[in-house]
Amino acid sequence: MTQTGEDCDGRGGETGAIERQRTMGRTGSDAPKPVAAAGGMILAAVLAGFWSLRSGSEDAAARIARTGVVRTGYAVEPPFAFVDAQGRVTGESPEVARVIWLRLGVERIEWMQVDCGSLIPHLRAGRINQIASGLADGLALSSPSIQQLADQHADMERAVPFHNATLTPGCGAFAFRPADQSLRDRFNPELRGFIGGRAHLELIEPLGCTRESLPGPTAATNKEKTP
């Protein structure tokens, strides 16, 4: 809020000067500053109330579109999400998220690293707008994660081919709150158009992901489980 810095004596002296100008028949080009200051304070209060009401009524999609900032949570699970040697958040899911949000006009992502078990509670509480990470149950690791483990440990070997009829393999995933359906509905069409294309494959191949590791027709659907 702008402060005028005027005291009572200052206001009185200025008012007296204006009154003398009127007595001499001059209109004066400046209005009494106390009135202007009071008007400015009232306008500021009205605007503050307006923005407070507006921010309270905005959904996540509208707020992100207005600010150009999205809060995204991830848990470390290479190659889906991790921090590189330069301190940059990377991995299959963060890199894809960057592309999609940029296409939607969102230029800034605020990353929040949490443990896997805290991702959904953070999402539910509204501390993050989106999860961008590898999502899997227990130790059901995805093919790229298993391959990376095998590459890093000489005493491990990936079984190829490996078939298991009872488990659904984990994959990179994005999650939104059910209440943020409009945000998810903005994200999904761009995601559908990107997954499996040349730009997508060129982006994820250096991370150890290939076309064979893509989840297929289940990707970018509107199906979701309520957290």
Q: At CA 111, angle to CA 94 and CA 136, rounded to 5? A: 55
Strand partners, 110: 71
What pLDDT does 116 receive? 87
**3-state DSSP assignment of residue 221:** coil
What pLDDT does 76 receive? 93
Could you tell me the two tokens for 27? Answer: 């209109």
Low-confidence residues of the chain, pLDDT below 70?
1-56, 134-146, 148-150, 152-172, 215-227
Q: Give Cβ neighbours of residue 168 (< 8 Å, ≥ 6 apart).
A: 140
What pLDDT does 227 receive? 45
What pLDDT does 101 receive? 97
Could you tell me the two tokens for 2? Answer: 């702008």
CB 114 within 8 A of CB 152: no
pTM for this model (two decimals): 0.60
CB 18 within 8 A of CB 32: yes
